[in-house]
Amino acid sequence: MALDTASEAADELVPALQVVGNKHRLHILQILGGGAFGVGQLAHTIGLSRQAVGRHLAVLQDHGLVEQKPSSENGRLYTLNRQKAAMLNASFLSVMGRLGGSGGHVSAEGAAAPDETLHMVVPQTPEACTHCQNAPFVREVLDELDQSLVKARQYQVRLRQMSSHVLTAQEEERTRIARELHDDTAQALTSVLVRLRLLERSAEDKRLRSGLAELRDLTVETLEGVRRLAIDLRPPMLDDLGLEAAIQSHVQDFSRQRQINVNFTSSGLGRLPPNVELVLYRVVREALSNVAKHASASRVETRLSRKGRTLRLLVEDDGCGFDVEAAKGSRQSGLGLFGMEERLALIGGTLRVDSSPGKGTRLSAEVPLPRSRRQ
């Protein structure tokens, strides 16, 4: 309950804190804390135009933090409403004390780690903008833009880290399920199949043998389906023989099942870092899956090559093509492209998709290889 009360009080403070959160308004309050000043004096001290100071004073007046003294020979003068300022300060300290003593804490997800604080520099302001009558306004906009860019970059870093954790957890779960299917389910089905064959041979009744034969065939189909599912989740060939062999095997299965002519060529790359092999294998699978679902293609060219320390993957089809920008904005096809981009980004790679309606699709990925790699 204490935390709820503190949160409600904090919510009530938000409008006032937004007002004094502006550095120019805070500066005005600090100056007025020392006495009464006119608009011209404030403008000269702060370095803003009279119009800008007038706008800030109007906002502060609306919230009762600044009062206007009766007209004098020096013109309108403004003073700090000390009672209102003291109440705001006391409320702020009270809320902070309640939050600090409530046992609550800022979660790791809600606070930026020290190494995540990124400083982004806004481009140099054109000289003409710094001398025009709107220069203060331009500086204020650039300050707010700079803060927004920093926050956006920090948020992007958190999203990328979260994406990495999700993909890593997904691969670990795939591996675990594939291992259980292969070691437990497939072996159990194999044992059932052996017993059915023994029963079939020993049975004398023809109807019983016929029923056992049907059951045996069903068990064989189920066993093949389980093995195929385990391979789809995590192909053993990828770990045992490498990326080229795994892609070649998948391409052959894909061509046979989908009746699409897929040609795969590579330049004999040998073994690559495990994370690179896994990401590129997933990208190839996703690209071919998209071809089967959407492209209506009859032929697909897949190439894997290396130039210097850059590994290149190409998947090109002669299908119907699509609008790339529209697809990226789609909840269905956009997720597939986004997933490939995210996987490649985790290993420093990039993805480019070139396509247009009626002209097929060309998907190309580039991945930088480390200087020392496993052969």
- Domain total for the chain? 3
Banded model confidence at residue 142, pLDDT cuts 50, 70, 90: low
Q: What is the distance of C-alpha 225 from the center of its chain?
A: 34
pLDDT at 365: 94
pTM greater than 0.75 (yes/no): no
Partners of 38 in the β-ladder: 77
pLDDT at 101: 46
Alpha helices, H only, 133-205? 135-180, 186-202
Average pLDDT, whole number, for the chain? 78
Give SS3 for 370.
Answer: coil
Which backbone phi and psi does 270 adopt, to 5 degrees? 75, -165
Q: Check whether 210 has a pLDDT greater than 90.
A: no
Q: How many helices (H) and strands (E) does the chain have?
A: 14, 8
Together in a domain, 222 and 274: no
Cβ neighbour number for residue 68 with a 10 Å cutoff: 12
Q: Check whether 312 has a pLDDT greater than 90.
A: yes
Together in a domain, 252 and 263: yes
Banded model confidence at residue 116, pLDDT cuts 50, 70, 90: very low
* Cα-Cα end-to-end distance for the chain: 61
Residue with tokens 């403008």: 43
Together in a domain, 98 and 216: no
Cα distances (angstroms) measured from residue 286 to each of 35, 51, 211, 294, 361: 69, 58, 41, 12, 14
Q: Check whether 280 has a pLDDT greater than 90.
A: yes
Partners of 75 in the β-ladder: 72
Q: Check whether 160 has a pLDDT greater than 50.
A: yes
Together in a domain, 292 and 201: no
**Mean of the pLDDT values across residues 302-318?**
92
**Mean of the pLDDT values across residues 6-16?**
54
Is 177 exposed, middle or buried (CB count within 10 Å of its CB: 0-12, 13-18, 19+)? middle
Full domain range(s) for residue 51: 1-102
Q: Check whether 100 has a pLDDT greater than 60.
A: no
pLDDT at 110: 35
CA distance 44 to 303: 67
Banded model confidence at residue 114, pLDDT cuts 50, 70, 90: very low
For residue 319, what is the domain's CATH number?
A: 3.30.565.10
Contacts of 14 (CB under 8 A, 6+ apart): none
CA distance 290 to 20: 53
Residue 179 included in any domain: yes
Together in a domain, 229 and 242: no
**Mean of the pLDDT values across residues 228-252?**
88
Contacts of 103 (CB under 8 A, 6+ apart): 3
Q: Check whether 233 has a pLDDT greater than 80.
A: yes
**Mean of the pLDDT values across residues 307-317?**
92
Residue with tokens 């409403």: 81
Together in a domain, 261 and 205: no
- Opening angle at CA 212, ends 206 and 217, nearest 5: 125
Residue 138 included in any domain: no
CA distance 142 to 137: 9
Structure tokens at 270: 């040998």
CA distance 288 to 64: 65
**Mean of the pLDDT values across residues 242-248?**
92
Q: Which of 169, 204, 233 is the last residue of a domain?
A: 233
pLDDT at 244: 93
pLDDT at 105: 39
Together in a domain, 251 and 283: yes
Q: Check whether 349 has a pLDDT greater than 80.
A: yes
For residues 265 and 164, the model is more confident at 265
Banded model confidence at residue 314, pLDDT cuts 50, 70, 90: very high
Q: Check whether 179 has a pLDDT greater than 80.
A: yes
**Mean of the pLDDT values across residues 216-229?**
89
Together in a domain, 214 and 244: no
Banded model confidence at residue 333, pLDDT cuts 50, 70, 90: low
**Mean of the pLDDT values across residues 267-293?**
90
Among 369, 363, 335, 327, CA closest to 349: 369
